[in-house]
A = this chain, B = another copy of it.
Amino acid sequence: MYLHSLSGLSMASVLGLAQLSAHAAPVQIKAPAELPAKATLADVIKASKPSDWRALDPDNTLYMDIPSGRVVIELAPGFAPKHVANIKALVAEQYYDGLAITRAQDNWVAQWGDPNEKNPKPIQHAQRTLPGEFTVPLKNIKSFTRLPDLDGYAPQVGHSNGFPSARDPKTGTAWLTHCYATVGVGRDSASDSGGGTELYAVIGQSPRHLDRDITVVGRVVSGMPLLSTLPRGTAPMGFYDSPEKNVPIKAIRLAASMPPEQRANLEVMRTDSAAYQAVLEAQRHRGGPWSKVTAGHVDLCNAPIPVREAGK
C-alpha cells in the first residue's frame, strides 16, 4: 500500500516525470473535506502544445562530461554577456578538459575548476578574470514574466527566457537568482577576481542571499543528480581533502560544436507561455485527492521549469 505514498509530492519534480494515477481511496469518516481534483504538473505537460516548448540553443548550451555522465548547462548571455563569452572562449580552447570538480558542500554547491593552484593551467585566448556582472541594466532584459507571489529578497521576481530572475525598478537593474541548479562564477574577495575558470552549481536550498553578489551565468537543465549525489568533501567548505577524491572533467563542449546527432535533444517549457502559467497554478493550488490544503503561493525557486526530450 505504500508504493504510492507521498504521491502528491511528485508534482514538484523539476523534470516532468511520469506521475502515478490518482487514488480512488474512499473518503474517510471524519476526514477533512476533499479538495476538488485539479490539473497536476503532469496534466499540464500532457495538455501542452508544441509551441509551449523551445529547443535549447546550441550556441548557449554546454555539455560537461564527467565519469558518471553528462551535465547539460544552459547559458544566459543576456545576464552575463562578458562571462558567457569568456566561458565559451575557455570551452573553445578546451581549457576545462582534464580539470576537476574539487568541492561538494552539502546543501550548498558543487564547484569545478583547476585543482592545481601552484601551477595553474595556462589560458591561451580567453580572460582569467573579468569585472563582475552581478546585475545588468533592466532595459537589457526584454522578457520577464513576473510572479505575483511575495518574495523577500527582491522587489520583483519571475522568469526571463526560462531563467529564474529578479529586478528592481528603483535601481534599474535585473539579475539571475540563486535557485537549485543555478550555475555561477566562483570568485575571490575582489569583485573582478572571477572570470569563469571556477564555476559552481547550487545543490541545495536556494542561497538567495548570494544574488547580486556573484555573476550567475546559467543553470543546469539536465544531469543535476550527477552533481547532487557527489560525495561531500570533508575539508573546510566542502573541498575534497585529497587530489584523488577530485572528480575529473573529461570535457566541456559547446553543443554547437558537436555533430547534431550527438547533441542532447532537450526542450524547455517556455516560461512566457500560457502552459507555464498553468504549471505555476498547479504548484500554488494543488487539488485533491492527496492534497487537503493548498499553499496559495509559489516561491520563485519552487516553480518547476519542465524539461523533456524533444518529441516525447
Residues of chain A having any CB pair with chain B under 8 Å: 1-10, 12-14, 17-20, 22-23, 25-28, 30-32, 105-109, 111, 113-114, 117, 120, 131-132, 134, 149-153, 179-181, 186-194, 197-198, 200, 204-214, 224-225, 228-232, 236-237, 239, 283-284, 286, 288-295, 297-299, 301-302
Contact = CB atoms under 8 A, between A and B. Distances in A.
Contacts of A113: 2, 5
Contacts of A214: 6
Given A113-B2, A186-B2, A206-B205, A131 B30 contact: yes
> What is the interface of chain A mostly: helix, strand, loop, or mixed?
loop
Nearest to A296: B153
Q: What 9 pairs across the A-B complex have the smallest Cβ distances?
A: A5-B186, A209-B295, A150-B152, A23-B189, A152-B297, A225-B232, A189-B289, A25-B189, A106-B225
A239 B236 CA distance: 33
A197 B26 CA distance: 21
B236 A20 contact: yes
B292 A191 contact: yes
A248 B239 CA distance: 29
Nearest to A299: B152
A13 B297 contact: no
Name the residue among A22, A200, A229 with the largest chain B CB count within 10 angstroms.
Answer: A229
A209 B200 CA distance: 28
Contacts of A117: 1-3
A307 B113 CA distance: 31
Given A20-B237, A25-B190, A32-B191, A111 B5 contact: yes
13 contacts: A2-B113, A5-B113, A5-B187, A5-B188, A6-B187, A10-B105, A20-B237, A25-B189, A189-B288, A208-B302, A209-B283, A213-B291, A213-B292
